[in-house]
Amino acid sequence: MKQIVYTISDSSGETATNFARSMMAQFNEIDTTQKRYSFIKDIDQLTRILQHAQQDQALVFYTLSNPEFDQIVKNFDHDKHMLCFDILSPYLTMIEAFTGQKASHEIGAARKLSTQYFKRIEAIDFAAENDDGKNPHSMVEADVVLLGISRTSKTPLTFYLANQEIKVMNLPLVPSVQLPDELWEIDPQKIVGLTNDEEVLRKIREERMLSYGLKAQTNYSSTEKIQQELQYAQNLYDQLGCLVINVANKSIEEVAAIIEEKLQLNTFSAN
């Protein structure tokens, strides 16, 4: 089955787009085409989009801070018997009732240059400056230090967490390379050791060799080499007493969630 999905917003549309993607991901038998319409400025523009959505028999997910725009979609939904999902208004109404405060209905409120915004930029800059163990002296400034042998998702995880305003540095583990002294000076609660299944790691490394135009079977991708590196890393993690996460068959989001939960627990413990 094929289904067209419209996401409509008077801001960037990220919330509606991500929400729609999450909803449609639950339907494996539906082939979804998503059309995104952002920064809606006037009623005529919005009406034309809704008319196209009707012609496409589309599902509509929308976030419209402008109350007039919001009502237009609701009227169109009712008159044309379309399926339109208002992602903002029902929740804002409930929060208003619960808190006794009125929502601002400010367009793009989540994207304002707030303290959180600057914290995220700072964390991303920190990640870029400290990727792949570039500046071990900065380790004491990090919220999290990721350790792992090659192909354990250190870099993508570092930048994913940075987007959550977490300052992360990652350090590659190579048995022949001496570890920086700073690693033994920081709180082990800040350290996360990443590991992987031997077979998964071998396949990843073989594919990496092939992408370079080399043979799949090299010392880098050999079973013996991988076993040695995995054991070296595990011995280090045991010495440090740090959290260890096996990234095999886990998404970046899943691993990040485990780390964020650990950070929250550490914060609660400190308090």
Q: Is 149 within any annotated ligand binding site?
A: yes
Rounded to whole angstroms, the Cα distance separating 159 from 152 reads 14
Residue whose pair of structure tokens reads 């989009």 in the numeric block: 49
Q: Is 150 within any annotated ligand binding site?
A: yes
Task: Specify whether the CB–CB gap between 221 and 205 falls below 8 A.
Answer: yes
Q: Is 93 within any annotated ligand binding site?
A: no
User: Using alpha carbons only, how large is the chain's radius of gyration in Å?
Assistant: 24
The count of other CB atoms within 10 Å of the CB of residue 42 is: 10
Residue 202 main-chain phi, psi, to 5 deg: -60, -45
Q: Is 21 within any annotated ligand binding site?
A: no
Question: Which secondary structure element, helix H or strand E, spans residue 224, and what is its range?
Answer: helix 223-240
Q: Is 155 within any annotated ligand binding site?
A: yes
Q: DSSP assignment, residue 37?
A: E
Q: Is 167 within any annotated ligand binding site?
A: no
Where are the strands (E) in the chain, listed by range?
2-9, 31-37, 59-63, 84-86, 144-148, 168-172, 191-195, 243-246
| Selection from 256, 96, 78, 260 nearest residue 160 by Cα | 256
One-letter amino acid of 211: S
Binding positions: 148-155
Binding positions for ADP: 148-155
